[in-house]
Amino acid sequence: MKNFIIFGPPGAGKGSQCVLLSKEFNYKHISTGDILREEVRLGSELGIKVKELMDSGLLVSDRLIIDIIESLLNQSKDYSGFLYDGFPRTVTQSTALEAMLEKKGMQIDAVISLHADEDVIIKRIQGRAAIEGREDDARTDVVKKRLEAYKEHTEPLIGIYRAKGIYHGFDGNSTIDENFAEISSFIRTLR
């Protein structure tokens, strides 16, 4: 079982790549954002709490995300691997993911990181908000707050993953197809 973290700021193209890569390689796409939005849509108790956080641009707690990921890993047996989209976002989550995988005899095989310019990110996120009706993505101030949270909480993981030799960067300003071709080619070198 391969484990790939698809890394980068909101709007860099992680979700688009995960959809394509999951089909190409039979990997389970684990999008914490999609899972949380589904809970909001269902109006569950979890969804109500999550909506309050998302509307203000804040992150959901590490413990909650870790519990959700562990549950998904335990339920997903018929895949060749996993694509972690939007997870981990913090050093705590990264440590917890590695510990969880180690218990299962697995490891993180690579961190595939997409970088994109801030103006590209804002344009993409607001375009997605209009198409998908994602109110949490419509406001520039909320998007900028998310980018600040990414820089503060998530960017420190880059140094950790580089030190482990598993960090691989890609230009998120490229088209979806260009990124898919490059990332697919990279993944095939690891098989």
User: Going by C-beta distance under 8 Å and a sequence separation of 6 or more, which residues neighbour residue 27?
Assistant: 2, 4, 21, 79, 80, 81, 82, 83
The confidence band for 165, taking pLDDT boundaries of 50, 70 and 90, is very high
Task: Tell me the pLDDT of the chain averaged across its residues.
Answer: 88
How far CA 36 is from CA of 26, 39, 73, 174, in Å, comes to 23, 5, 16, 28
The confidence band for 21, taking pLDDT boundaries of 50, 70 and 90, is very high
Q: CATH homologous superfamily of domain 2-189? A: P-loop containing nucleotide triphosphate hydrolases (3.40.50.300)
Q: Contact, 140 vs 35, CB < 8 A?
A: no
How far the first Cα of the chain sits from its last, in Å, is 10
Burial class (CB in 10 A: 0-12, 13-18, 19+), 137: buried
Kindly give the interhelix angle for 176-189 and 14-25, rounded to the nearest 10 degrees: 50
Confidence (pLDDT) at 35: 81
Q: Contact, 51 vs 122, CB < 8 A?
A: no
Confidence (pLDDT) at 136: 66
Q: pTM here? A: 0.83
* Range in 1-10, 79-88, 129-138, 159-168 the model is least confident about: 129-138
CA gap 162, 104 in Å, rounded: 23
CA gap 64, 37 in Å, rounded: 14
- Single-letter code of the amino acid located at 168: H
* Range in 9-23, 26-40, 103-117, 174-188 the model is least confident about: 26-40
Q: Where are the domains of the chain?
A: 2-189
Q: Contact, 85 vs 114, CB < 8 A?
A: no
DSSP code at position 80: S
pLDDT tens digits for range 55-108: 887 777 777 787 778 778 888 888 999 999 988 988 999 999 999 899 889 999
Report the candidate in 186, 166, 183 with the shortest Cα–Cα distance to residue 109.
166
Confidence (pLDDT) at 51: 86
Q: Is the pLDDT of residue 161 over 70?
A: yes
